[in-house]
Amino acid sequence: MVLVGASGAGKSHWAASQGLASDRSAVVSSDDLRALVGAGPDDQRAGNDAFELLDLVLDRRSRRRLTTVVDTTGLDARRRARWLRLAHDHGLPAHVMVFATDERLCRSRNRERARPVPTNVLSSQLRQARAVEAELASEGWDGIHPAGDVVLVPPQFLHSAAATHRQQEDPMSLEFGLQISRFTWPGGPAEIAERLAGVAGEAEAAGFSSLWVMDHVLQIPTVGREWEDMLDSYTTLGFLAGRTASARLGVLVTGVTYRNLAHLAKIVATLDVLSGGRAMCGLGAAWFKHEHDLYGWDFPPVARRYELLEDALELLPLMWGPGSPRFEGRTTTVPAATCYPRPLQERVPIWVGGSGERRTLRLVARHADGCNLFGDAATVRHKVGVLHKHCEAVERDPATVQVSHLSTASVLASTASAQDRPHPDAGTADEQVGRYRELAEAGVQTAIVALPELGTDPGAVGRFADVIAAYRAGT
């Protein structure tokens, strides 16, 4: 959103009154940037440098699809065009808010400044402000708004109301899994076991049909700090097998560099037997080089890791199937694929994590039962289309490949305001229903959810039950 108005029109005050000041990273102010690169917020000599920096910040935030408010006069048409193009290039909506403040009030506020804007400069801004609305109408903005109260809605919820209505009128089915990616909970290691068991029980009661953990021995940078508590993946699933009754259990996803592939088959088979046939096998090419270095594991080039992944996709079903055939792979040789007891399931479902269009999704089409994707509904729809083309190339029915989607989400407490979101993926239950309806329409059958408040907010899992319940009518 670009704020448009002369100096003294009240743009910065508006941003603060809307709660944007609580997250200063959302507001990019030319005054603040002048203070950063010049002698202060009123140092006009630093203006060019400040706007260069502003453009850089907008570019980086747009790449990350972050909501951003541009607090400048917004009266330069060339700059507006550049910012509009930047937003649309990254698939973001771009709005302007026009501050048609009384000229006398602008001048009065300007006189009260420690370093007022020169009178002739302010007069020029006021003339531009009178003409700007006609210019804006022809520039292609997604919305032009008079200054007033707003509620900032994260992009993933922009169309959720209509999608929620579609789910109510014509229900679709969708399974939900819970991703447990963090174990830094109150009480420390001594309480992890009971807290984890409690989370698993709450998840089953709420309607989550599967539980997933990450395959990391260190906490990953996108989730937390390296020194946080992190449990071994398959040991954790073995524990959960004994503390749950119905939820399917999987690792999203198992790095193929961490274990001998035949041994991995044995681990998954054991989990399936001890869980009563509830194991799922997620596989990936691995990426976190740092933990490989710390634990002494080889981290081969990406091409070699993909060869390992393809070997795993071919070997594991042999290890779980009849007979003991020899396996000659690209990276692995197994003289006899021997694994007793075999899994209880006739075939343990194999999921591949990743959405690479040339290699990963091609491997999914050839070998896997499902794939796990990331991104918004438009991204997922495109990836599913690519996957289906790969299936057609190998004469496989695309309907035989399941699609899951991993994202962060949480349902706000009933007393919370949607304006006070702790993170962009937090929303009301209705907003989340609409968000997942859009993903279901894009081709997702299982939505895997990571709840940031898991283990610290006793109601986090239970509140998500309302979202799950909205999809039971479609089953």
Residue 94 and residue 21 in one domain: yes
Report how far residue 198's alpha carbon sits from residue 209's, in angstroms, rounded to the nearest whole number.
16
Task: Tell which of 126, 152, 178 closes a domain.
Answer: 152
What pLDDT shows up at residue 14? Answer: 85
Residue 199 and residue 320 in one domain: yes
What pLDDT shows up at residue 445? Answer: 97
SS3 242: helix
What pLDDT shows up at residue 66? Answer: 83
Is residue 22 scored above 60 in pLDDT? no
Mean pLDDT of the chain: 92
Residue 201 and residue 131 in one domain: no
Mean pLDDT of 1-7: 93
Mean pLDDT of 343-370: 96
What pLDDT shows up at residue 402? Answer: 97
Residue 135 and residue 166 in one domain: no
CATH code of the domain in which 141 resides: 3.40.50.300
Residue 116 and residue 194 in one domain: no
Block residue for tokens 């989340």: 432
Measured from the Cβ of residue 456, the count of other Cβ atoms closer than 10 Å reads: 13
Q: What is the pLDDT of residues 270-305, one digit of tens each?
A: 999 999 999 999 999 999 999 999 999 999 999 999
Residue 220 and residue 185 in one domain: yes
Task: Tell which of 100, 131, 152 closes a domain.
Answer: 152
Is residue 472 scored above 80 in pLDDT? yes
Strand partners, 426: 410
Dihedral class, residue 343 (left if φ above 0, else alpha if ψ from -120 to 50, else beta): beta
Residue 204 and residue 104 in one domain: no
Residue 351 and residue 214 in one domain: yes
Residue 189 and residue 60 in one domain: no
Report how far residue 21's alpha carbon sits from residue 11's, in angstroms, rounded to the nearest whole number.
12
Whether residue 117 has a cis bond before it, omega within 30° of 0? no
Chain-centre distance of CA 137, in angstroms? 34
Task: Tell which of 115, 134, 152 closes a domain.
Answer: 152
What token pair was written down for 341?
């007891």
Residue 18 and residue 106 in one domain: yes
What pLDDT shows up at residue 21? Answer: 43
What pLDDT shows up at residue 474? Answer: 59
Q: What is the pLDDT of residues 175-184, one digit of tens each?
A: 999 999 999 9
Number of separate domains in the chain: 2
Residue 229 and residue 298 in one domain: yes
Mean pLDDT of 93-110: 92
What pLDDT shows up at residue 12? Answer: 85
20 DSSP 8-state letter? G
**pTM metric for this prediction:** 0.82
What pLDDT shows up at residue 419? Answer: 64
What pLDDT shows up at residue 34? Answer: 87
Transcribe 296-342 into DSSP letters: T-----HHHHHHHHHHHHHHHHHHHSSS---EE-SS-EESS---SSP
Residue 120 and residue 193 in one domain: no
Q: What is the pLDDT of residues 108-164, one digit of tens each?
A: 998 988 888 889 999 999 999 988 888 999 999 999 999 887 777 777 888 899 999
Mean pLDDT of 238-250: 98
CATH code of the domain in which 168 resides: 3.20.20.30
Which one, of 175, 186, 256, 255, lies nearest residue 211 by Cα? 175
What pLDDT shows up at residue 42? Answer: 76
Domain range holding 89? 2-152
Return all residues near 328 (Cβ < 8 A) that are at least 6 apart: none
Report how far residue 447's alpha carbon sits from residue 247's, in angstroms, rounded to the nearest whole number.
14
What token pair was written down for 11?
């743009």
